[in-house]
Amino acid sequence: MKHKHRFRYSGHNVKEIHFRCKCGERKSREATDKEKKRIKDDWDKFEKRSAQMHRIAWDFDKRFKTGPDTWKKTGFELMSAVGKWAQKHPTVIETSCDDYCAAGATLVMIPHETRGEYWGTTVYFLQQFGPPAEFFFYPGNHEEVLSALNKIKRRFREPKHRGLKFTMKPT
Ligand SMILES: [Zn+2]
């Protein structure tokens, strides 16, 4: 289909501004000095915001990890160290669970947040006798997980343990 292209802004990098027509045709031009300054200011702002947003999660990484999936310590030693660290960060929340062999384990929740914004929460599963695991909840995942657990809980009552009872007279 022949037509007169109508280019709209589609993105930029530090040096160039990109445009695109509905038909897929693309064009780029060099950014003016004024635009370059705006791009740089915007990037600086983004970096500052990120540093704030991920501050506590990055601190956790620095303290306890040596790489994406490698740790300075593990097991009970890690759980204790993280427990102490969490006390210094009031937004970090620890909850309890069990690991596969019914030993006490911990879920450490680290929110990524600034004063006005919430990105999501990193969760670490720390267990006494196995490697830690990590996952991430976006705000949209909260209701999903909560409603799943509540749905299960509503269907059942917690079991009451009825212990055996004996009388003085042998039976
Ligand atoms: Zn076009």
Distance 34 CA to ligand 1 centre (A): 28
The 3-state secondary structure of 51-108, one letter per residue:
HHHCHHHHHHHHHHEEECCEECCCHHHHHHHHHHHHHCCCCCEEEEEECCCCCEEEEE
Distance 2 CA to ligand 1 centre (A): 8
Give the pLDDT confidence score for residue 4 in this predicted structure.
95
Distance 32 CA to ligand 1 centre (A): 25
Distance 31 CA to ligand 1 centre (A): 22
Give the pLDDT confidence score for residue 65 in this predicted structure.
96
Return per-residue pLDDT of the chain as tens, 171 residues: 689 999 999 999 999 999 999 999 999 999 999 999 999 999 999 999 889 999 999 999 999 999 988 999 999 999 999 999 999 999 999 999 999 889 999 999 999 999 889 999 999 999 998 899 999 999 999 999 999 999 999 998 888 888 888 899 987
